[in-house]
Amino acid sequence: MNIYDFTVKDQKGEDCSLSKYKGKVLLIVNTATKCGFTKQYSELEELYEKYADQGFEILDFPCNQFFHQAPGSDEEINSFCSLNFGTKFPRFKKVEVNGDNADPLFVYLCKQNEKGKVKKVKWNFTKFLIGKDGNFVERFEPIAKPSSFEEKIIAELKK
């Protein structure tokens, strides 16, 4: 099993198979518009603009699970991100990342670590790097600025 086995909901609520991203390096992020880390959208967009033409995609999953820091509809969130940060990378429907209602994609991602135990998402802007083969590469916690792991993205793009 890998990322390509999952289907998620796009902003319009329609099914989107992640297999459409086969062969690309992915950064999957749970985000929030009213979080102290929201300014990371700027760095995420910079990385996206630099590497999208080389096969890099950022998949943005808004999450209102942590102190309701992603209020508003999916459309309002998209508008906020586009207007305030100029984001162009794909954004999906709001999800839960932990608990009984966690999206299956995030259940899978939380199991991908060196110890094999479930490692819950601690907060907004947890980032998961996925290789071109659809397999988990590395997890970056919210405090990790996107620019701090740019070299790892480049290394995956060169594979």
Q: Percent of the chain beyond pLDDT 70?
A: 98
137 pLDDT more than 90: yes
Band of the pLDDT at 114, cuts 50, 70, 90? low
Band of the pLDDT at 116, cuts 50, 70, 90? low
The domain segmentation of the chain, as residue ranges, is 25-158
Distance from C-alpha of 47 to C-alpha of 50, rounded to nearest angstrom: 5
Q: Which residues are catalytic?
A: 35
Distance from C-alpha of 84 to C-alpha of 92, rounded to nearest angstrom: 18
Q: Which among 90, 130, 100 is positioned nearest to 5, based on CA atoms?
A: 130
Which one is the CATH code of 25-158: 2.60.40.10, 3.40.30.10, 3.30.70.260, 3.40.640.10?
A: 3.40.30.10
